[in-house]
């Protein structure tokens, strides 16, 4: 198993800064995801690790060795692309075994490795078919198999499931996670799908405007987002961020939201009373009951196991995720209770967590 380290890695195309000062310390055998919206620099970062793009500055280390000047082959990485990149004139068996054949591995050994890997990927019955005769999921498995058969030090995945339908995406990410557990090879996965990232990653690097906004476990990123962007990007339905004011009284800190003052357990530091902030609460922590902030139901979104209820209050609009189906309807008056311990509070100017 091999570790990967990025030290202040930046990338420019002419005068345009794509990535800046990226620091990542990926442990051997870890599965990490680069997560972010289009244009945030995640694929460029992956390409720099692979050696497909040169970094403008900074160092990339694989297994403790600086690899900035090494080719992709010398780095011993395997990459799975979004568009599969299969050879259409080759059978499944030939596609999977191609890199071994190019390395001069004996035909008998290639055949043995291909058959063993195909069995684990449930491709044994299609080895003699061509890519055009396969489903999207089967084609993606072939692409993964071609990467796995090389037994590289690092696996790189560039949005490999983007062309698959929703149900197949879920199945494929489960299979990739199982393969990672079996192989224990350091893996870097790129996606814009936060649910996908949360479900398969040991740690997630949330990227924003070419930098890493937060790097931590799925639990850390969800429960303690480091910034306004991370809080709003992670979670479904999306957290609602509202305006508030910090107030200080007798050594205690309160969040003023409309006519409501909620006590906060945060270090006052150099805060001054009247400081503008943004705050939010995850939908599952917005509780509907007989007490709390008065509001009116705007919209209901039943999704089976839960119903997402949009509620307009004097403090702002909240979304409550309530188990099961509800009998309330748009226009009904309700009350919501919010615990101060469930609040996420961010500086209005910097967007950083307080």
Residue 289 clears pLDDT 70, i.e. is over it: yes
Question: Exposure string (b/e) for 90-99, b if CB count within 10 Å is 16 or more?
Answer: ebbbbbbbbb
Query: In the prediction, which pLDDT does 36 show?
Result: 95
Tell me: the pLDDT tens digits for 87-130?
Answer: 999 999 999 999 899 889 999 999 999 998 888 888 999 999 99
Query: In the prediction, which pLDDT does 35 show?
Result: 97
Q: Are residues 218 and 253 in the same domain?
A: no
Q: Are residues 100 and 191 in the same domain?
A: yes
Residue 269 clears pLDDT 70, i.e. is over it: no
Q: Are residues 254 and 288 in the same domain?
A: yes
Alpha-carbon span 350 to 340, nearest angstrom: 22
185 is a domain residue? yes
96 is a domain residue? yes
Q: Are residues 248 and 220 in the same domain?
A: no
When pLDDT is averaged across residues 243-269 and rounded to a whole number, the result is 76
Tell me: the pLDDT tens digits for 18-75?
Answer: 999 999 999 999 999 999 999 999 999 999 999 999 999 999 999 999 999 999 989 9
CATH of the domain at 269: 2.40.50.140
Domain boundary residue among 225, 248, 267?
Answer: 225
Q: Are residues 122 and 250 in the same domain?
A: no
Q: Domains in the chain: how many in total?
A: 2
**% helix / strand / coil in the chain, to the nearest 5?**
30, 35, 35
Q: Domain of 136?
A: 4-225
232 is a domain residue? no
Query: In the prediction, which pLDDT does 183 show?
Result: 80
Domain boundary residue among 225, 251, 285?
Answer: 225
Query: In the prediction, which pLDDT does 268 show?
Result: 57
202 is a domain residue? yes
Alpha-carbon span 329 to 52, nearest angstrom: 54
233 is a domain residue? no
Query: In the prediction, which pLDDT does 175 show?
Result: 81
Query: In the prediction, which pLDDT does 157 show?
Result: 92
Tokens describing residue 220: 């850390």
Q: Are residues 11 and 126 in the same domain?
A: yes
Domain boundary residue among 178, 197, 225?
Answer: 225
Spatial contact of 226 and 353, defined as CB atoms under 8 Å apart:
yes
209 is a domain residue? yes
Alpha-carbon span 142 to 151, nearest angstrom: 15
Q: Are residues 16 and 76 in the same domain?
A: yes
Query: In the prediction, which pLDDT does 271 show?
Result: 65
* Strands (E) located in 16-92: 16-26, 31-35, 57-62, 65-66, 77-80
Q: Are residues 70 and 37 in the same domain?
A: yes
Contacts of 37 (CB under 8 A, 6+ apart): 192, 233
Cα–Cα–Cα angle for 85, 89, 94, rounded to 5 degrees:
80
Tell me: the pLDDT tens digits for 227-243?
Answer: 999 999 999 888 988 88
Q: Are residues 192 and 72 in the same domain?
A: yes
pLDDT cut 70: percent of the chain above it: 97
> Hey, which residues does 211 pair with through a beta bridge?
208
Residue 270 clears pLDDT 60, i.e. is over it: no
Q: Find the DSSP H helices in 103-255.
A: 107-120, 136-148, 166-183, 194-200, 218-223, 228-233
When pLDDT is averaged across residues 263-271 and rounded to a whole number, the result is 65
31 is a domain residue? yes
Mean per-residue pLDDT of the chain: 90
CATH of the domain at 97: 3.40.50.300
Tokens describing residue 331: 């226009």
Tell me: the pLDDT tens digits for 81-99?
Answer: 887 788 999 999 999 999 8
Cα–Cα–Cα angle for 97, 92, 85, rounded to 5 degrees:
85
Q: Are residues 197 and 305 in the same domain?
A: no
Strand, helix or coil at 69?
coil
pLDDT cut 90: percent of the chain above it: 57
Q: Are residues 214 and 257 in the same domain?
A: no
How many residues in the chain?
A: 354
281 is a domain residue? yes
Q: Are residues 121 and 264 in the same domain?
A: no
- C-alpha distances (whole Å) from 204 to each of 56, 96, 201 are 24, 29, 6
């Amino acid at each position: 198993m091999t570790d990967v380290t990025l030290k202040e890695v930046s990338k420019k195309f002419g005068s345009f800064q794509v990535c800046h000062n990226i620091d990542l310390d990926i442990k051997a055998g870890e599965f990490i995801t680069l997560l972010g919206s289009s244009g945030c620099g995640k694929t460029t970062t992956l390409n720099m690790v692979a050696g497909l793009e040169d970094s403008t500055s900074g160092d990339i280390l694989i297994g403790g060795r600086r690899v900035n000047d090494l080719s992709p082959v010398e780095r011993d990485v395997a990459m799975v692309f979004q568009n599969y990149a299969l050879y259409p004139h080759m059978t499944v068996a030939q596609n999977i075994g191609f890199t071994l054949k190019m390395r001069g591995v004996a035909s008998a050994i290639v055949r043995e490795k291909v058959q063993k890997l195909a069995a684990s990927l449930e491709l044994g019955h299609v080895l003699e078919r061509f890519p055009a005769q396969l489903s999207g999921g089967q084609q993606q498995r072939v692409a993964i198999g071609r990467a796995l058969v090389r037994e590289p030090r690092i696996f790189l995945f560039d949005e490999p499931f983007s062309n698959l339908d929703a149900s197949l995406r879920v199945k494929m990410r489960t299979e990739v996670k199982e393969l990672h557990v079996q192989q224990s090879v350091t893996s870097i996965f790129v996606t814009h799908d936060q649910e996908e990232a949360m479900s398969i990653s040991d740690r997630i690097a949330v990227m924003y405007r070419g930098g890493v906004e937060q790097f931590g476990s799925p639990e850390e990123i969800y429960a303690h987002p480091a910034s306004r962007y991370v809080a709003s990007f992670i979670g479904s339905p999306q957290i609602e961020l509202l305006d508030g004011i910090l107030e200080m009284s007798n050594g205690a800190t309160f969040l003023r939201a409309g006519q409501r003052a909620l006590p906060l357990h945060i270090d006052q530091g150099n805060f001054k009373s009247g400081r503008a902030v943004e705050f939010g609460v995850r939908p599952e922590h917005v509780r509907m009951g007989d007490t709390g902030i008065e509001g009116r139901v705007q919209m209901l979104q039943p999704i089976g196991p839960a119903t997402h209820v949009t509620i307009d209050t004097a403090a702002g609009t909240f979304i409550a995720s309530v188990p099961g189906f509800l009998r309330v309807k748009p226009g009904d008056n309700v009350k919501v209770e919010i615990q101060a311990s469930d609040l996420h509070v961010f500086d209005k100017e910097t967007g950083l967590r307080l």
